[in-house]
Amino acid sequence: MPAPGSPPSAAHRLEGRVAVVTGSANGIGRAIAERFAAEGAQVVVADIDETAARNVAATLGPQALALRVDIADPASVAALAEAVGARYGRCEILVNNAAILDSAGVDAMSFPHYRSVLDINQDGAVRVTLALLPLIRRAGEGRRILNVTSIQGVRGSRDSLAYATAKGALVNFTRALACDLGAEGITVNALAPGFIDTRMAQLPDGSGHEHETEWFRDIYIRYGRIPLRRAGQPADIAGPAFFLCSDDARYMTGQIVLVDGGVSATF
């Protein structure tokens, strides 16, 4: 039997489709890239860390391609689209996953800092989508755009002013874009992860991850604020990402799917 938390046996249900996953050198993006590759997709591992992206692509096999992209830089995004077009001529699946964490509250916020977070977490997804849309339109069946937002994009929390605003903007970007592209058969959905064990969950002082702290274990696990009693793993997001980009989700668009262990049901 497979180990707990491992993906089901791949059925190559994305065979031949080109999937661009931003921020896929680690964490959630890497797990999504791995799942897509296991399902037969030709995966573009797009990340600002080119060395890490190449390392991931090497583990995925010859169907994977590593490309550097800085989603805050229009020229870099244009170069990504040009490279994907030159290599494949089309793109069936785009996953806008790349983002940065920011935990500044209003008292620590300056407008330039605020804009710098939105420039990556909000505008970056828009840049990449607009750049790759001609390649998506050129593709055939199974055209999907998937945005990775956050439960902070659908709720308020302290010390997340810019981050939550950007992720909230992605929610309505998803809905509005779904309305624009629906007549073309292109679906647009979003995943809103909760507490996931990635580098972004590391504490600012580097002493560990948030889910390892006593306050997290007390509130979210012992007292059931997360009904499933654990933080999520990147593979927990990769499964729903595959579903939304598969043919099984062909009649789903404009949807925000929370993958949070049930935490949104407790507040």
- Catalytic site residue from 88, 114, 163, 220: 163
Q: How far is it, in rounded angstroms, from Cα 99 to Cα 126?
A: 12
What is the rounded end-to-end Cα distance, in angstroms, of the chain?
Answer: 36
163 has catalytic annotation:
yes
Adjacency order of strands within the sheet including 144-148? 65-68, 42-47, 18-22, 93-96, 144-148, 187-193, 256-259
Contact in structure between 167 and 217 (CB atoms under 8 Å): no
What is Dmax (Cα atoms) for the chain? 53
CA distance 9 to 155: 35
H-type helices in the chain, by residue range?
Answer: 27-38, 50-60, 74-88, 111-121, 123-138, 161-181, 214-216, 234-245
Query: Which residues does residue 147 pair with via DSSP β-bridges, in sequence order?
Result: 96, 190
* Cα dihedral: 191, 193, 196, 202 (round 10): 100
The catalytic residues are 163
